[in-house]
Structure 1
Amino acid sequence: MHSQVSSSDIGLKGIRPERGAGAVRVWLLVIAALVYAMILVGGVTRLTDSGLSITEWKPVTGAIPPLNGDDWASEFEKYKTQTDEYKLQNKGMSLSEFKFIYYWEWGHRLLGRLVGVVFLIPFLAFWAMGYTTPKLRKRLWALFALGGLQGFIGWWMVSSGVGDTSRVDVAPYRLMTHFSLALLIIGGCVWTWLSMREQPRFIDDNRSRNWAIALLVVASLQMMLGALVAGLDAGRTYTDWPLMDGSLVPQAFWDSSLGLRNFVENVATTQFNHRIFAYILLGLSIYTAFKFTRAAGGWYKRTAHAVVGQSILGVITLIFGAPLWLGLAHQALGTIVFLSTVILVWNCSAQRER
């Protein structure tokens, strides 16, 4: 059972300003698009092993790349002496090869700075013009704070591979944290954008809403597991399917010396868990699409379609050993699946915006 209610009934006046709501909503979509671009550039940075090419965190001056030969030599020397990635994996790398990975990491950081500027300046302008409400401002300040935290988390992630760490990549659990926060930010932008709509929200019974929340939780966990797989290059290790290393459960699933760290550091464990959650999400999305055919404005069906597509793409990506373009496409569609579940929960939610 579901029904539609008016904007006044669900209290949209608490977050939707009387003037300028359309402009604010367009701006929120621009922010969400920039964060999505950051996720994709971050994916390329990871897949090209570019993340450790810049060994320092300079939030302001770091926006300027090396401008001459001496600057490039200095940055290259820092990479050579401060990362085990160079010593153990890239020893003998040429300067031109270093520039390639440097520019990907620099571009990723620059895009993060751009998001901050594009967020803060229009936000303050909207506030001055009376295009916000107290509740909207609180939510926007929270999103801005999360963006600042993301910059710190990004350096915390990179620092795990700088120094005498014996790592040739960043710590996978830190990569997962960084990626999860990006999803939280883009999800928050989309949720706020939806909350400022003039159209009524679909209010479904509690059972439908609970299933929507379950889909969001499983999709979020699946994305987090995917970040661990990416951080360990696990998608390029076991490339047979539907079996894994010729078995239902790979022999290397549990390394007793790692203990609970198997869940974040064992290649076999992380890929196996990612596969299992993929099956759970696929089954759950198909089941709810048939069970709640007309609920939530059709978003159960849309979510199921996205999950089916992502599942097929995931298998193809795995079989081909996760080449750059397939790995990036898999991450891009995975983010769409996550946002689809966010929209689904919003449409099903009886929570009132007051």
Structure 2
Amino acid sequence: MHTQVSSAAQSSIDVGLKGIRPAKGANAVGIWLLIVAAMVYAMILVGGATRLTDSGLSITEWKPITGALPPMNAEDWASEFDKYRSHTAEYKLQNKGMELHEFKNIYWWEWGHRLLGRLVGVVFLIPFLVFWALGWTTPRLRRRLWALFALGGLQGFIGWWMVSSGVGETNRVDVAPYRLMTHFSLALLIIGGCVWTWLSLREKPRFIDDNRARNWAAILLATASLQMMLGALVAGLDAGRTYTDWPLMDGAVIPQAYWDGALGVRNFFENVATVQFNHRFVAYCLLGLSLYAAFKFSRAANGWFKKTAHGVAGQSVLGVVTLVFGAPLGLGLLHQALGTIVLLSTVILFWQCSARREV
């Protein structure tokens, strides 16, 4: 049975929120964090398009500063195209004979993705320093914001670590799936951190002291996070375009190719059948868990159990449609876009159930 939070616990909530919320400028800082989160969301979608269009290996060097400028003339374009042809197995094994105008199409996707990453860094750092100078931050808030900025810098390095797996002496025609998963997961951590901090700057929440609801919110957050990571592996292997029958997979409940003894533990990262089946299985688990929790805690967390269940149900239907149509670009991006929203709904849900932990 739900019980209202005790006065002592409520007092501790107030202290915790004051520790993160500045006396002035909290609303401005919150709006800025939402803008940063929106930009990270856009970057996730552009990154998805970059992957689905096989554009990620078109830029073979990591130049954090000078790389912000695209090729400016015919000579620059010829140089970039030559690097792609000589440094990637993708060209030699998959795109041999590609024309310059075709190369430009994939180059602009990757360049745009990298440029957006640089813009996110600028939009984060400059207002942050301004807010600090104006006294619109607290020591605790600054620690969290510096952590988010550091994660953004790490994301740039992880991005190059991912791309480098398909450049040079390698037979890979795509980036390593586990590196793509790492890159994507870090982006989700950053956007989740922005949303969590924005929530912490808002007015005091209506809090229900219910450990069971908090535990279920944590389960949904963990399961949704795992599902998104598995989705990154599916994208990295183009697994969504391999087995397109449903509800069976390759005509069976568990596909015959699920386990390749020669791969061992690498099946979980490199076997197309394993990766897609795991993604399907966790999707069923997440749907069942979210529906049960929505029924069990229908009035808890300001209705976010129900909202999350609705999002998961919609994402499940969209996932099946995307699968049976062979994961075309539009459906693939829509699936990724809604998946990120569902994950953020579990972040909000967990925050609603864990406001006391902000102390």
Considering the TM-score relative to the shorter chain, is it more than 0.5?
Answer: yes
1:63 aligns with 2:68: yes
Distance in 1 between the 2:209 and 2:287 partners?
22
1:252 aligns with 2:265: no
Q: Which residue of 1 aligns with 2:342?
A: 337
Distance in 2 between the 1:8 and 1:252 partners?
52
**Superposed displacement of residue 8, structure 1:** 5.7
1:72 aligns with 2:39: no
Conservation of the 8 A alpha-carbon contact between 1:176 and 1:228: yes
Counterparts of 1:185-264 in structure 2 under 5 Å? 185-264=190-269
- The partner residue of 1:301 within 301, 306, 315 is 306
Query: Percent identity over the alignment?
Result: 79
Conservation of the 8 A alpha-carbon contact between 1:39 and 1:179: yes
Distance in 2 between the 1:62 and 1:249 partners?
46
Distance in 1 between the 2:111 and 2:279 partners?
30
Distance in 2 between the 1:2 and 1:144 partners?
38
Structure 1, 163-172 or 199-208: larger mean CA deviation:
199-208
Distance in 2 between the 1:289 and 1:195 partners?
24
Deviations 1:148-175 (A, max 9, x none): 0000000000000001210000000000
Distance in 2 between the 1:342 and 1:129 partners?
30
In the superposition, the TM-score normalised over structure 2's length comes to 0.97
Structure 1 stretches of at least 4 aligned residues deviating more than 6 Å after TM superposition: none
Conservation of the 8 A alpha-carbon contact between 2:230 and 2:279: yes
Aligned residues: 354
Distance in 2 between the 1:167 and 1:139 partners?
38
Conservation of the 8 A alpha-carbon contact between 1:202 and 1:348: yes
Paired AA for residue 17 in structure 2: L
**Superposed displacement of residue 7, structure 1:** 8.5
Q: Which residue of 2 aligns with 1:50?
A: 55
**Superposed displacement of residue 350, structure 1:** 4.7
- The partner residue of 2:327 within 322, 336, 341 is 322
**SS of corresponding position for 1:90:** coil
Distance in 1 between the 2:182 and 2:302 partners?
32
1:132 aligns with 2:133: no
Q: Which residue of 1 aligns with 2:19?
A: 14
Distance in 2 between the 1:26 and 1:67 partners?
36
1:170 aligns with 2:171: no
Distance in 2 between the 1:17 and 1:197 partners?
11
Paired AA for residue 271 in structure 2: N
Distance in 2 between the 1:41 and 1:257 partners?
35
Q: Which residue of 2 aligns with 1:271?
A: 276
Deviations 1:273-332 (A, max 9, x none): 000000000000000000001000000000000000000000000000000000000000
Distance in 2 between the 1:319 and 1:6 partners?
53
1:146 aligns with 2:151: yes
Conservation of the 8 A alpha-carbon contact between 2:13 and 2:355: no
Paired AA for residue 220 in structure 1: S
Q: Which residue of 2 aligns with 1:32?
A: 37
In the superposition, the TM-score normalised over structure 1's length comes to 0.98
Q: Which runs of 5+ in 2 are unaligned?
A: none
Conservation of the 8 A alpha-carbon contact between 1:203 and 1:350: no
Distance in 2 between the 1:150 and 1:78 partners?
24
**Superposed displacement of residue 198, structure 1:** 1.3
Q: Which residue of 1 aligns with 2:4?
A: 3
Conservation of the 8 A alpha-carbon contact between 2:162 and 2:179: yes
**SS of corresponding position for 1:19:** coil
Q: Which residue of 1 aligns with 2:163?
A: 158
Distance in 2 between the 1:213 and 1:352 partners?
13
**Superposed displacement of residue 10, structure 1:** 5.1
Deviations 1:14-55 (A, max 9, x none): 000000001000000000000000000000000000000000
Conservation of the 8 A alpha-carbon contact between 1:302 and 1:340: yes
